Amino acid sequence: MSIDPADARKLRITGILWLVTFATSIPAALIYHPLLKHHGSTYLTSGGHDKAIALGAFLELLLIIANIGTAVVPYSIYKRYSDRLALGFVASRIMECMFIAIGVLSVMAAVKLRQQIGGPGSHVASLDTFGRTLVDVKNWTFLLGPGFVVGIGNGVFMGYLMYRSGLMPRRLAWLGLVGGPLVLMSGTLVLLNVIPQNSSGQAIATIPEFFWELSIGLYLTFKYKPATIVSDEALPAPA
């Protein structure tokens, strides 16, 4: 398909931003492991990994910026195909980022708590309740944001938008149309206490959505290169 070079640049930037979401969210999850392990009590009574946790929080702040960018940068393009889907995707991204921000606040509150009354020699029982509460907040924000809202926005909205617009191959768009409802279903089952959070069933349900979002980043980054795309207006008139 022919596309305006300015739009091609927007789509390529959008693809890069999608890849940034992977480059920030996955390392942050790994960095948080000392805090999330044992519901935070071990972290609160240990020597601490304050700088590492702060780095994880910083990465999630970058994640928030990248998330919003994936919706705002291409908005003028997406709305040509569907105003409602484009706006719905922006709204879902903002909602997801709100939950992520609450999670960042919870982990930084744990860092502050450890610095003030925790550390080596602290009584485990006195900090266990606080640690569990803060970690539970972090886990629930992950479930309600990346584990639930994402199914609607990144999966259903983006999947149908890409399927309808032809900006991506329809066979790839089906990953979002299938993966989104699966994420919604698994998140709902966790919410209703039918399956445990972070269970193998929930992990399997997120696989199509994972590859869908990765395919968006890769396809938009490497497909739409402004230097190689010519708009219809720039083509020579037929003889």
Distance of CA 24 to CAs 8, 10, 61, 120, 198, Å? 24, 21, 9, 30, 20
Amino acid at 163: Y
Yes or no: say if 204 and 157 are a contact pair by the CB < 8 Å rule: no
**pLDDT attached to residue 234:** 41
Segment 218-235 mean pLDDT: 67
Angstrom distance (rounded) from CA 202 to CA 218 = 25
pLDDT tens digits for range 44-93: 766 667 888 899 999 999 999 999 999 999 999 999 999 999 999 999 99
Closest to 6 in 3D by CA, of 234, 224, 226, 165: 226
Query: Does residue 21 carry a pLDDT above 60?
Result: yes
Structure tokens at 85: 């889907």
> How confident is the model at residue 121, as a pLDDT?
57
Percent of the chain past pLDDT 70, that is, above it, reads 85
pLDDT at 236: 40
Token couple for 230: 């010519």
Q: What percent of the chain has pLDDT over 90?
A: 61
Q: What's the CA gap between 230 and 8, in Å, rounded?
A: 9
Separation of alpha carbons 172 and 147, rounded Å? 21
Mean pLDDT, to the nearest integer, of 160-164? Answer: 95
Q: Is 237 helix (H, G, I), strand (E, B) or coil?
A: coil
pLDDT 10s digits, 121-133: 556 666 677 777 8
Question: Which pLDDT value is given to residue 19?
Answer: 98
Nearest to 3 by CA among 210, 156, 230, 165: 230
93-123 pLDDT per residue, tens: 999 999 999 999 998 988 888 777 755 555 6
Handedness of CA 77, 81, 83, 88 (dihedral sign): negative
Contact in structure between 89 and 14 (CB atoms under 8 Å): no
Neighbours of 218 (CB within 10 A): 14
Q: What is the pTM of this model?
A: 0.87
